[in-house]
């Protein structure tokens, strides 16, 4: 029997909120699928579109960028910049023909362990039927 497809999700989590939120989910022993590869960044505003494209070209099936809720950014306004920039990235990726589910953004605060684990459940559920991401993947 062929094993079920397990998507690999690269998650860029901001150090001050989302990373702590993911940590809280772990410390509170909440279960969530092991498909996510967390990468801690200092701020969601520091996530360059290059990171997203690079993750996709290295074969990520989905990319998640997560930061503090608007108004809660440790650097005051980093997540506002991220919101604007990544909105453009999302529109561009969809325009090129990438499934919109493959690039997601969320606000997860340090206290929202439950939200984080639920988010990963949802992402995995959405990405499973899409199958592997081959459009942007390097294949040489």
Partner 1 sequence: MVSLDQLKEEVKKALSSGKVKYFIGYENIGSGWQVRPAFIRQPEDVDRLVWTPACFHNLVRFLHDEKRRRAREKNPDIRPVGLVVKGCDSRSINVLLQEKYIERNDVYIIGVSCELTGVINITKLNQHLNGLKPQKVLFGSKGTFKVIVDDREIEIEAPDILADRCLECPANFPVIADVILGEEIKRNPGNRYQSISAYEKMALDERWSFWQQQFSRCLRCYACRSVCPMCYCDECVADSIAYAVTAETTADEKAQKTRWVERNPELSENIFYHLVRAIHLAGRCVDCGECERVCPVEIPLRLLNKKMEKEAKELFGYEVGFDPAQPPLIACFRDNDPQDFIR
**Nearest alpha carbon to residue 108 among 35, 33, 13:** 13
Q: What is the sign, positive or negative, of the torsion defined by CA atoms of 104, 110, 115, 119?
A: positive
105 lies in the binding site for partner 1 (CB under 8 A) = yes
User: Distances from the Cα of 37 to the Cαs of 53, 55, 64, 74, 109, in angstroms?
Assistant: 16, 11, 10, 23, 18
Nearer to partner 1, 4 or 71 (CB): 71
Measured from the CB atom, is 4 or 50 closer to partner 1? 50
Q: Is 137 near partner 1 (CB under 8 A)?
A: yes
Q: Does 125 bind partner 1 (CB under 8 A)?
A: no
90 binds partner 1 (CB under 8 A): yes
Which contiguous run of DSSP H or E holds residue 41? strand 36-41
75 binds partner 1 (CB under 8 A): no
CA-wise closest residue to 16 among 72, 55, 93: 72
Nearer to partner 1, 20 or 55 (CB): 55
Residues that bind partner 1 (CB under 8 A): 49-50, 53-54, 57, 70, 77, 80-81, 83-85, 87-99, 104-107, 119, 122, 135-140
């Amino acid at each position: 029997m062929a094993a079920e497809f397990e998507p690999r999700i690269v998650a860029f989590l901001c150090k001050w909120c989302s990373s702590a939120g993911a940590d809280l989910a772990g410390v509170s022993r909440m279960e969530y699928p092991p498909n996510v590869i967390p990468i801690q960044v200092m701020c969601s505003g520091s996530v360059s579109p290059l990171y997203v494209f690079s993750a996709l070209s290295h074969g990520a099936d989905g990319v998640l960028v997560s930061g503090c809720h608007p108004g809660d950014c440790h650097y005051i306004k980093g997540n506002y910049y991220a919101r604007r920039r990544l909105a453009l990235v999302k529109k561009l990726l969809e325009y090129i023909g990438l499934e919109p589910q493959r690039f997601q953004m969320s606000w997860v605060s340090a206290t929202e362990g439950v939200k984080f684990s639920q988010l990963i459940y949802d992402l995995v559920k959405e990405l499973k039927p899409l199958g592997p991401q081959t459009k942007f993947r390097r294949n040489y």
